[in-house]
Structure 1
Amino acid sequence: MTATDPALTALAQGWCALSLLHNKIEARIERALQAEHGLSVREYSLLDVLSRQHDGEGGHLQMRQVADAVVLSQSATTRLVTRLEDRGLLSRYLCPTDRRGIYTDVSPAGLELLERARPTHDAALREALDEAARDPRLEPLVRAVESLPRQVPAASY
């Protein structure tokens, strides 16, 4: 059965289109970030999420929240954090009020890399969306993505 098989339901066809759009975007961004900055999409996403933390109530994310934000399991997120920590892009430390909690912060080198990589990420995203918009199957999804609110509230992490 293929994505164009008439036996597929409209819902399944919509899911196939959404999956195709996601894969095209992720592949374009992955190639650009790897080529320019030696970062994967997941690494970039993790640095981006952690860079948005702040001091104060609820400002630091627990590993579960980080995993949810980067759409990985907790164990995969921990491995990713370890790899980036080994590269000097992140640091971990114990929560001052709960010794069982471990916080992860982006290091100055990580922030610098993230700032250099952000324009590459954004340009690759724009290119992927522009290309996908030329496909009649994907154009409605591109319009939907472009109409989403510009700022994702931190509470959604």
Structure 2
Amino acid sequence: MTATDPTMTALAHSWSALSVLHGRIESRVERALQAGHGLSAREYSLLDVLSRQHDGEGGHLQMRQVADSVVLSQSATTRLVTRMEDRGLLARYLCPTDRRGIYTDVTDDGRRLLEEARPTHNAALREALDQAAADPALAPLVQAIGQLPGDVRSV
């Protein structure tokens, strides 16, 4: 295989298109959440993931699972949780069955902010995807996103 191999060139172009789409979506969502709610896209993601926890079997996420869900390293996730805890949006507590385990939950203030921010997030996401769908290089990716299962985190 050479650097000018058409297969690799096509793959590189596809990867570039995916990167461009991600950047556009993240940028639009970030601006909308910051302007409307003083919340970053990562903070929104963290609130969203943690708000889906439940008290049943396997309902609370370990920090490693949270980090995977918000696509951050475990240490970056811990720093983000600390900042959001300082803002009163999250609270940590010891696992009742394993004193070594520490869980994080969304506070009432965090839930309120998440619910206020959700329409802003969804509208910015929809606008970014609609704009990308008009770009012939990105339209196939937008179409593929529309065909994904409702909750790809379970895949």
Tell me the TM-score normalised to structure 1 length: 0.92
Match of 1:90 in 2: 90
Partner letter of residue 131 of structure 1?
Q
Percentage of pairs with the same residue:
77
Q: How does 1:84-123 map to 2 (within 5 A)?
A: 84-123=84-123
Give the distance between the partners of 2:151 and 2:70, measured in 1 at CA: 16
Instruction: Compare 49-58 and 8-17 and name the one that shifted more.
Output: 8-17
Partner letter of residue 144 of structure 1?
A
Structure 1 residue matching 2:125: 3-state secondary structure: helix
Offset from partner CA, 1:111-142 (integer Å, 9 cap, x none) = 00000000000000000000001110000000
Give the distance between the partners of 1:52 and 1:8, measured in 2 at CA: 40
Partner letter of residue 145 of structure 2?
V
Deviation at 1:48, TM superposition (A): 0.2
Match of 2:3 in 1: none
Deviation at 1:151, TM superposition (A): 3.0
Match of 1:3 in 2: none
Report the CA distance shift for 1:143/1:100 in structure 2 as closer, same or farther (over 3 A).
Answer: same
Give the distance between the partners of 2:9 and 2:115, measured in 1 at CA: 43
Deviation at 1:146, TM superposition (A): 1.1
Report the CA distance shift for 1:7/1:98 in structure 2 as closer, same or farther (over 3 A).
Answer: closer
Deviation at 1:149, TM superposition (A): 1.5
Give the distance between the partners of 1:25 and 1:129, measured in 2 at CA: 7
Task: Tell me which stretches of 4 or more aligned residues in structure 1 moved more than 4 Å.
Answer: none
What is the root-mean-square deviation in Å for CA atoms of aligned residues? 1.4
Deviation at 1:39, TM superposition (A): 0.3
Give the distance between the partners of 1:39 and 1:25, measured in 2 at CA: 16
Give the distance between the partners of 1:16 and 1:72, measured in 2 at CA: 21
Deviation at 1:152, TM superposition (A): 3.8
Deviation at 1:73, TM superposition (A): 0.3
Deviation at 1:148, TM superposition (A): 1.1
Give the distance between the partners of 2:137 and 2:151, measured in 1 at CA: 27
Tell me the TM-score normalised to structure 2 length: 0.93
Match of 1:52 in 2: 52
Q: How many residues in Structure 1 have an aligned counterpart in Structure 2?
A: 150
Q: Which runs of 5+ in 2 are unaligned?
A: 1-5
Structure 1 residue matching 2:119: 3-state secondary structure: helix
Give the distance between the partners of 2:151 and 2:141, measured in 1 at CA: 19
Match of 2:148 in 1: 148
Deviation at 1:147, TM superposition (A): 1.3
Q: Which runs of 5+ in 1 are unaligned?
A: 1-5
Give the distance between the partners of 1:102 and 1:73, measured in 2 at CA: 17
Give the distance between the partners of 2:100 and 2:151, measured in 1 at CA: 32
